[in-house]
Amino acid sequence: MSILYDLLLLNAEVFTPNGLQSIDVGINDGRITALEPSLKNAEATTILDLKGLTVLPGVIDTQVHFREPGLTHKEDIESGTRGAVAGGVTGIFEMPNTNPSTTTREAMQTKLDIAAARAWCNYAFYAGSSDENIGLLPDLEQMHGVCGVKLFMGSSTGNLLVRDDDTIRRVMRAGKRRMAVHAEDDFRLDERKEWLMQQPTLHPRLHPEWRDVDTALIATKRVTALARETKRPLHVLHITTADEMRYLATQKDICTVETTPQHLTLDAEDYERLGSLCQMNPPIRSKAHQEGLWWGIEHGVVDVIGSDHAPHTLEEKALPYPNSPAGMTGVQTLVPLLLDHLSKGRLSLERFVDLTSTGAVRLFNIKGKGRIALGMDADFTVVDFKATHEITNSWIESKVGWTPFDGKRVTGWATHTIIGGHAAMQEGELFKVTPRPFAFWDTAMAQ
């Protein structure tokens, strides 16, 4: 008796653990059940002819800020995840600096419930750490759908700022999973703010001078030393300096590393053109530091790329610097920006997949993701390497409706976003599917 597949992917190049293969993919019940030279004679409820396209493991964006609850005038879980699937992203890790902060089981469950009802892609949430919830962290990091604990050493909201080593040490000892950190030294930020306010003219071009290299490097060295002392695995987010990258190359036994598409694409010269639209924390820096980030990618220091999607309205961005808020949209442009770098020879396909999918699975012990292999979840990002598109504000699904890359032409584009064996995006058209929270090998099995 012949098999009836839920979905067949035909005539594409497929990136498997063996490399690129000209094979067809069969899917049932949300999982890969066939990888064959040809399934053209098989029967299926849905058949996608992907001739000329490439099927990749589903892209996972491991750092987004979707602003819900409390700041939903500029984003929420529904609009943020809709932007994700529009850009080829199959799943996201969302950050805890909402209002209220995600520091309790109740606050976490609220986010999980919202996502279960309204998310367009797979999801997990970070629990925030503070000096007030250290005793709750071991329980929080084990909740189903929680990807880990986030520590802010600088630039946070509400009660999430943790400045001093003693408190950081206590946070690190209150759990065992890999912990993510925003490493900017808040003490130095205060000192540098005095310098900033003495400048005759205030402009976003001063942002990387206020939040200078030492602000980042001091914090990164502090937090890796504490991770080594407490034996807590660490993930340092959005690295921006060549100095940090060289240092972190010596710390890979305790620490993993992220950078962002924005820092790989924009540089300090763009402040003249974009002003506060390219203001983010840590800052966009000089071309020399950008080359340091590419050095980290080329030498394997960087483990994963996250977008740090953090939208603000244009009205908020128009406030005089430094009152203009830091952050920009990013989840929808992650894939096209990196594909464009791939087209220019700065990334190999293998490195693209590692940085956007398998790296996240390796770092965070995600079940069922990151490989196109029998039995794995049917999450795919389908791309056209040759397609040329212009990124525009009108394409952006975020509530704020803008991107610093408005008008940028790129080569490489996501044509389909497939989640659990169902197309959530097909040639630019969005379809509501039923996503799920990520499951992790290092959380409690009984949920």
Confidence at residue 156, expressed as pLDDT on a 0 to 100 scale: 63
Delimiting residues of CATH 2.30.40.10 domain(s) in the chain: 4-55+372-430
Q: Which DSSP helix (H) or strand (E) runs through 381?
A: strand 380-390
31-36/409-419 β-pairing: unpaired
54-57/380-390 β-pairing: antiparallel
Average pLDDT over residues 436-444: 93
380-390/304-305 β-pairing: unpaired
Delimiting residues of CATH 3.20.20.140 domain(s) in the chain: 59-364
Residues 6+ apart with CB under 8 A from 11: 24, 49, 50, 51
C-beta separation of 86 from 332 below 8 A: yes
What's the pLDDT tens digit per position in 310-364? 999 999 999 999 999 999 999 999 999 999 999 999 999 999 999 999 999 999 9
What's the pLDDT tens digit per position in 380-435? 999 999 999 999 999 999 999 999 999 999 999 999 999 999 999 999 999 999 99
Confidence at residue 271, expressed as pLDDT on a 0 to 100 scale: 98
Confidence at residue 445, expressed as pLDDT on a 0 to 100 scale: 54
Confidence at residue 444, expressed as pLDDT on a 0 to 100 scale: 73
The residue to which tokens 């001739």 are assigned: 51
250: burial class by Cβ within 10 Å (0-12, 13-18, 19+)? exposed
Q: What is the CATH number of domain 59-364?
A: 3.20.20.140
Identify the bridge partners of residue 5 per DSSP, sorted by sequence position: 44
Confidence at residue 447, expressed as pLDDT on a 0 to 100 scale: 43
Q: What percent of the chain has pLDDT over 70?
A: 98
What's the pLDDT tens digit per position in 32-83? 999 999 999 999 999 999 999 999 999 999 999 999 999 999 999 999 999 9
Measure the CA–CA gap between 39 and 16, rounded to whole angstroms. Answer: 17
Q: What is the CATH number of domain 4-55+372-430?
A: 2.30.40.10
Residue 1 has pLDDT above 90, yes or no: no
Does 354 qualify as catalytic in the annotation? no
Active-site residue identified among 6, 185, 267, 308: 308
Q: What percent of the chain has pLDDT over 90?
A: 97
Confidence at residue 446, expressed as pLDDT on a 0 to 100 scale: 41
CA distances from 2 to 242, 374, 440 (A): 57, 18, 35
Residue 248 has pLDDT above 70, yes or no: yes
C-beta separation of 320 from 75 below 8 A: no
What's the pLDDT tens digit per position in 124-165? 999 999 999 999 999 999 999 999 999 999 866 668 999 999
pTM given for the model? 0.98
Average pLDDT over residues 116-120: 98
